[in-house]
Structure 1
Amino acid sequence: MAPLTLTALPPELLDHITTYLPTAQSVTRLGATSRSLHAFVEKDAWQTFNRTRFPSLHPIAPPSPRDAARSLTTLSKAWARRAFVSRYIEPHGDIRAYPGATPVERWKRPRGQTIGFTPQLDVYETIGQTWQEREEVLAFSAGAEVCVRKKRRRNGSEEVRWMIYRPLSAYEGRDDVTTLHLLRPDGNHESDSQQLVTGTANGDLCILQLPEGAKGDVPITYFVTNGQPVRSSSVFDKAGEHSLLVANMGDSRISVYPVDSTKPKITPLSSLDIRPPQSNGVPARHQRVWSTEFLSPTKIAAGLGPSDEPIQVYNLTPSGFDKSPLRKFSLQNDLERLDPEAAASGPAKKKRSSSVYPIVPLPPSTTAGSSTDGNVFLSGAYDGLIRLHDLRSPRDVEQAYSDPADDGAIYSLLSRGQETLVAGTSRHSLLKIFDMRLGAKCYSYLDAAGGQPGETGTETKDWNLFLRPHNAASTNGRGGNSWARRSQESSVYSLASASPHSPYLYAGVENAVLELAFTGVLDRHPDPVFFQPWQPPKGSHGRVGDDSWRSKEVLDLAMYEQTPNMTLRTQKSMWETWRTRQNESTAHAMLDYSSKLAGLDERWRVGSGGQSWT
């Protein structure tokens, strides 16, 4: 009998074999063995590789699974090596101000307040007919103003346009934007406007339609709030389903609205007052609702406090809110309920009173049986802990993520699939990054490195990043960006990313918005969808190339790993990093020996590099 070859195997077995291939290189080699296997790889294997190695990060149906694999593997390496380029972003270039669609030569940041503005963020992207064609829409608030950036990438070029909107009678402080959401296009046709939902401190909650082009009018749909200040909101905006908005007004009122921009005014479908629990007949004081979040179209979670049970989840039925919560969560597990015998043998454990600020649902994985249907979510609390909760479990807390060196309150959360958790804290401009895979590693760029010099992994997975520059050039510069006005000590109020597979992460700190582009400066083969290899300026009048890579705008940040010794590392400038590479005398020489041992990006070095950082 003739020996069985790979080409003779049925597609089901070939697909199963693909799940064991650890790297994109191994998939490419499989496709190079024969024409039939090449056809299988292009049709099925790349999608299987993406689904297996990036179960919660990969796009569902990309135009090119091969190109998607390139982006996913390159991005995974950048995150593992903590390789990113950061800069402040604000409107520049092609700017139109609304109402009126007036061209603006230079954007002026808000004035009139004793502290800087608190940015609210949202961002999404749409992919065109090819993986390289895409549009990213970013929106952030600056006091009473909203700034929207549209960035289109096609055929290796990039087009950026800005729209800013400010009500004619708005005043800083009184009319500040407190909530912001971009409404996604429905995909059936191209819209001639960008729709977004904004809520303000003076009680306005509305849908704005910023027109494309030179049209000056901005149609507005108002939600009825009875003049109460808008504290928080969440939008359920999913293709094929009716969009819904839940908002928290005042200290206790939450209301659900349909989202319909064709109407001039929208009244609530249902409203509910979350009253503080009473103690001896007297209501608890100083408690309020801090956040509201859709877990699913029929489940809404509210974060409140101070309270012994600061998370309450409500069912939303066709007739409105159920008056009683579906579930209340404390911030620790109830020993008596879980183990009555253990509880009877010792004193009852006192519940922990705290406040919960952000709540975000955990996105599902693509593996079989992993759909969460809104049952699993994360919360950030005043006590500095991030907790994982599951509505299907009798436990109040399934997993807790903490930083042994800092217990600042958690103000913002962002999950990159089920792999990475990013948290913004209340002080020190500190961003915390946790690995949620609990030791599991679906893909490792080290498998593809093949033992190349310097490609060593990091022992510690969790790390903290200071979102304030330590380089003097970034804080004392002049010109259009005016870095000297930036806050040096801030909370991280908001976090956003266009998708789990996007290389861009945005953070809102006091008076500024930062962009972190995850890519290596010295990577000779960066993801061509988003980046080009960096080149230094050619002389005093030379250009770096792409406008987004101007060296003078790149910030040098600092970070430390969540370990007992907490060694501070700072980023070298892009030029210094490039110059060190050029001065290497041997093929195996490394830029920084400590970075080699840690497996970090070449820009990192131990200590402050001789500059004042604090």
Structure 2
Amino acid sequence: MIDQLPAEIIEQILGHLPTLSAILNVSSTNKKLHQVITQGSNSIFHNFVERSFPTISVQPPWREAAFNLASRSRAWDRRAFIARECAAPSDAPPRARNDRRQGFGYAPVIDSFEAGSARTKGGKEVLAWGAAGRLRLRTTEGRTVRWSSLRVPDDDRAWTDILDVRLLRPHQNRNVNGESILIRRADKEIVLLRSMPEPDKFVTASTYLANRETPIDCLDVSDGANPQLAICNGTSIQLFPVHSPHDRVQPGAVLKLANPTNLNQRKRCARFVSESLIAIGTQFLEGKLGAPVELFDVNATEQGLPLHALKMLEADDRPVRNNANVLVKVSEGTNAANMSENLLLAGSTDGLVRLYDLRAGSTPVRKYWDPVDDGQIFSLVPVGQEKFFAGSHQNACLKIFDMRMDARAYDYTDAVRYTSPKSPMASGKPIVPQMLPASRSRKQINIFLALTVHYAQQPWQPLPSVHENTSRLPRYRGSIYSLSSPSPSSRTIYAGIENHVIQLDFMNTDDYIFKRGNIADTIDERPILNLSCYERPRKGFESTDTVLLRKQEDWNRALSKLGEAEPGWDERWQLESAREKRGMGGRTRWRR
């Protein structure tokens, strides 16, 4: 019998089981197997994670990682997430609006990272974003959440706006008391800040003396233990050591850039793809040429001619001005060997997201397109080599694209989900164990962050309370300016809209209840937002696939429907019937 084998052999056998539930079901058969799985080494869960999620970089503890990844995979397939606003619990009293202040709000720039699992001992998650002229910093360790805010004089004025935020990762951080954050303001000030254990206290470690006679278009920080700061404009790349013994840092090198087209241009975005290579997206300000994404060797001593130019338009495309708005590395931190410098995603002004393999020439190896919403792509965040999220410049549209082309290493659909009968539910009825069928459709969804907003409020005020009468307030229809994920294994995505940062935790409603036991038993008391979404038509079926709008129900209503979800959807999603719509002014379903 299997329970009579040595523990090491049992671990090797169980490490090949296809689903997490299969491993847990084996643990309930007898005491020895239960002890091997729950109290033995983590090799069972380690093997499961590496086999089932080969492109996701995962850090121990492996048991926690296995549960998180399996739960997130199921949540993706069931379009399940919990949305909240990120807002500091307290702040300085708002000032009266200044007439000379810009008429629109600020665009948050976000960065985050996760070291270990934030909910386990020794792990933490750090989130930072620029809120006009203020810097927000949130650190989560277990059940402890700490906030710090950097406030400066006239932080409601446009010239103090924070345009870039870069959190130094743990292997780069030399601040033993807290975090190191590099920020750029609209007045061209670029500084490295160090947070202190005391709330709202920051120390300026370095100021980077970029040439103020020339514009600063974009910047990026390399990933190495001794990171470089690259400041780019249309004529040069200025390189600085991030860590310097001097408090005022001069550029270590300046790479002059050639302009073979002689067109007026600027650099729209930059991303280090390795310690020596940087990709820069150019924007032409005149003419009808597609501006390329160019790769430069930052160690070059001669005039900066690109080593490689990635095309944004192909030979058969009609002439149109097009450029990349955002660049991200796809395989950053994955387990795939020798892939960290090869795959690059570019979100462009024509609404397409292009995937480039730097080994395969200058044309994209794949294009991702939304037939319903063709807005510019302003932000991107990849999750290993499985999915990526794209933020549109219109309709507050957050798009989800699957990069696996249905080649999934893990499928949760054989998993039986048990909910404890002791868990208190709003309906008073426990959920019985049941098989949750998966949706056979591979349609992806667009999520609308069309939240009710108060444009007349100060920019640091939170979203309207759920208790307020918001029937006459407008909904946000603008851009998703920034996206960030703490790690490839995290189930959290942060999205920046005008004046607000939204946190989306990809977790099923029943998973959340099962984990918490009670909806009120949580350290996070922020109200849960109700959003809407629709499925994008499949490629080749654009004229026949319907596009139906779904809305999330309030928690109290969703709890009474647990176990009654439509296949492929979370319990909170509701598709309003034509009859219900007729009772609301005679409007029919939102359909394409």
Same fold (TM over 0.5): yes
Query: Does the 8 Å CA contact 2:150/2:202 hold for their aligned counterparts?
Result: no
Cα deviation code 1:97-148 (max 9, x no counterpart): xxxxxxx566779873310111000111223799454322111111111111
Query: Does the 8 Å CA contact 2:553/2:574 hold for their aligned counterparts?
Result: yes
Q: Does the alignment pair 1:523 with 2:506?
A: no
**1:498 aligned residue:** 486
Cα deviation code 1:512-536 (max 9, x no counterpart): 111112222333665x5xxx2443x
Name the Cα RMSD after superposition.
3.7
Taking the TM superposition and a 5 Å limit, the aligned residue runs for 1:208-357 are 208-213=193-198, 218-227=203-212, 228-238=214-224, 241-249=225-233, 251-260=234-243, 262-278=245-261, 283-285=262-264, 287-306=265-284, 307-317=289-299, 323-333=304-314, 353-357=321-325
- Determine which of 534, 555, 560 is the counterpart of 2:534: 560
- Determine which of 538, 549, 552 is the counterpart of 1:571: 552
Report the alpha carbon displacement of residue 184 of structure 1 after superposing the two structures with TM.
2.3
- Determine which of 20, 24, 30 is the counterpart of 1:24: 20
SS, match of residue 50 in structure 2: helix
Q: Distance in 2 between matches of 1:4 and 1:479?
A: 58
SS, match of residue 510 in structure 2: coil
Q: 1:484 to 1:20 in 2, by over 3 A?
A: farther
Number of residues paired by the alignment?
A: 544
Cα deviation code 1:488-534 (max 9, x no counterpart): 121111001111121221100111111112222333665x5xxx244
Q: 1:479 to 1:256 in 2, by over 3 A?
A: farther
Q: Distance in 2 between matches of 1:129 and 1:464?
A: 28
SS, match of residue 246 in structure 2: coil
Query: Does the 8 Å CA contact 2:311/2:362 hold for their aligned counterparts?
Result: no
Q: Distance in 2 between matches of 1:170 and 1:209?
A: 19
Query: Does the 8 Å CA contact 1:495/1:508 hold for their aligned counterparts?
Result: yes
Q: Distance in 1 between matches of 2:398 and 2:502?
A: 12
**1:47 aligned residue:** 46
Q: 1:322 to 1:185 in 2, by over 3 A?
A: farther
Report the alpha carbon displacement of residue 436 of structure 1 after superposing the two structures with TM.
0.6
**2:437 aligned residue:** 455
Q: 1:107 to 1:220 in 2, by over 3 A?
A: farther
SS, match of residue 70 in structure 1: helix
Q: Does the alignment pair 1:196 with 2:181?
A: yes
Report the alpha carbon displacement of residue 365 of structure 1 after superposing the two structures with TM.
7.6
**2:540 aligned residue:** none
Q: Distance in 2 between matches of 1:481 and 1:24?
A: 45
Letter in structure 2 aligned against 1:264: D
SS, match of residue 88 in structure 2: coil
Quick check: 69-78 or 422-431, which moved more?
A: 69-78
Cα deviation code 1:51-83 (max 9, x no counterpart): 1111122414x0x31222112111221222121
Q: Distance in 2 between matches of 1:131 and 1:137?
A: 14
- Determine which of 404, 414, 439 is the counterpart of 2:371: 404
**2:79 aligned residue:** 82
Q: Does the alignment pair 1:148 with 2:137?
A: yes
TM-score, normalised relative to structure 2: 0.81
SS, match of residue 296 in structure 1: coil
Query: Does the 8 Å CA contact 2:85/2:463 hold for their aligned counterparts?
Result: no
Report the alpha carbon displacement of residue 559 of structure 1 after superposing the two structures with TM.
0.4
Query: Does the 8 Å CA contact 1:207/1:261 hold for their aligned counterparts?
Result: no
Q: Distance in 2 between matches of 1:568 and 1:321?
A: 55
Q: Does the alignment pair 1:445 with 2:409?
A: no
Q: Does the alignment pair 1:428 with 2:376?
A: no
SS, match of residue 438 in structure 1: coil
Q: Distance in 2 between matches of 1:257 and 1:497?
A: 26
Q: 1:219 to 1:604 in 2, by over 3 A?
A: same
Taking the TM superposition and a 5 Å limit, the aligned residue runs for 1:542-561 are 544-550=520-526, 553-561=527-535
Q: 1:298 to 1:85 in 2, by over 3 A?
A: same
Cα deviation code 1:546-574 (max 9, x no counterpart): 35245xx2211110011131111111111
Query: Does the 8 Å CA contact 1:179/1:230 hold for their aligned counterparts?
Result: no
Letter in structure 2 aligned against 1:557: L
Q: Distance in 2 between matches of 1:390 and 1:603?
A: 39
Q: 1:264 to 1:107 in 2, by over 3 A?
A: same
Report the alpha carbon displacement of residue 415 of structure 1 after superposing the two structures with TM.
0.3
Letter in structure 2 aligned against 1:292: A
Query: Does the 8 Å CA contact 2:398/2:447 hold for their aligned counterparts?
Result: yes
Q: Does the alignment pair 1:205 with 2:190?
A: yes
Quick check: 399-408 or 387-396, which moved more?
A: 387-396
Cα deviation code 1:196-236 (max 9, x no counterpart): 10112211111112222169562241111122453322212
Q: 1:417 to 1:105 in 2, by over 3 A?
A: same
Query: Does the 8 Å CA contact 1:315/1:321 hold for their aligned counterparts?
Result: no
Cα deviation code 1:407-448 (max 9, x no counterpart): 111000000111111000111111000011011111122121
Query: Does the 8 Å CA contact 2:174/2:180 hold for their aligned counterparts?
Result: no
**1:467 aligned residue:** 449
Query: Does the 8 Å CA contact 1:358/1:379 hold for their aligned counterparts?
Result: yes
Q: Distance in 2 between matches of 1:429 and 1:130?
A: 30
Query: Does the 8 Å CA contact 2:109/2:165 hold for their aligned counterparts?
Result: yes
Report the alpha carbon displacement of residue 386 of structure 1 after superposing the two structures with TM.
0.4
SS, match of residue 23 in structure 2: helix
Q: Does the alignment pair 1:596 with 2:566?
A: yes
Query: Does the 8 Å CA contact 2:118/2:141 hold for their aligned counterparts?
Result: no
Q: Distance in 1 between matches of 2:257 and 2:168?
A: 28
Q: Distance in 2 between matches of 1:471 and 1:259?
A: 38
Q: Distance in 1 between matches of 2:238 and 2:444?
A: 38
Query: Does the 8 Å CA contact 1:478/1:484 hold for their aligned counterparts?
Result: no
Report the alpha carbon displacement of residue 576 of structure 1 after superposing the two structures with TM.
1.8
Quick check: 131-140 or 399-408, which moved more?
A: 131-140
Query: Does the 8 Å CA contact 1:223/1:267 hold for their aligned counterparts?
Result: yes
Q: Distance in 2 between matches of 1:9 and 1:548?
A: 40
Taking the TM superposition and a 5 Å limit, the aligned residue runs for 1:78-227 are 78-93=75-90, 104=91, 112-127=101-116, 131-153=120-142, 158-168=143-153, 170=155, 172-186=157-171, 191-213=176-198, 218-227=203-212
Report the alpha carbon displacement of residue 350 of structure 1 after superposing the two structures with TM.
5.8
Q: Does the alignment pair 1:413 with 2:377?
A: no
Quick check: 305-314 or 508-517, which moved more?
A: 305-314
TM-score, normalised relative to structure 1: 0.79
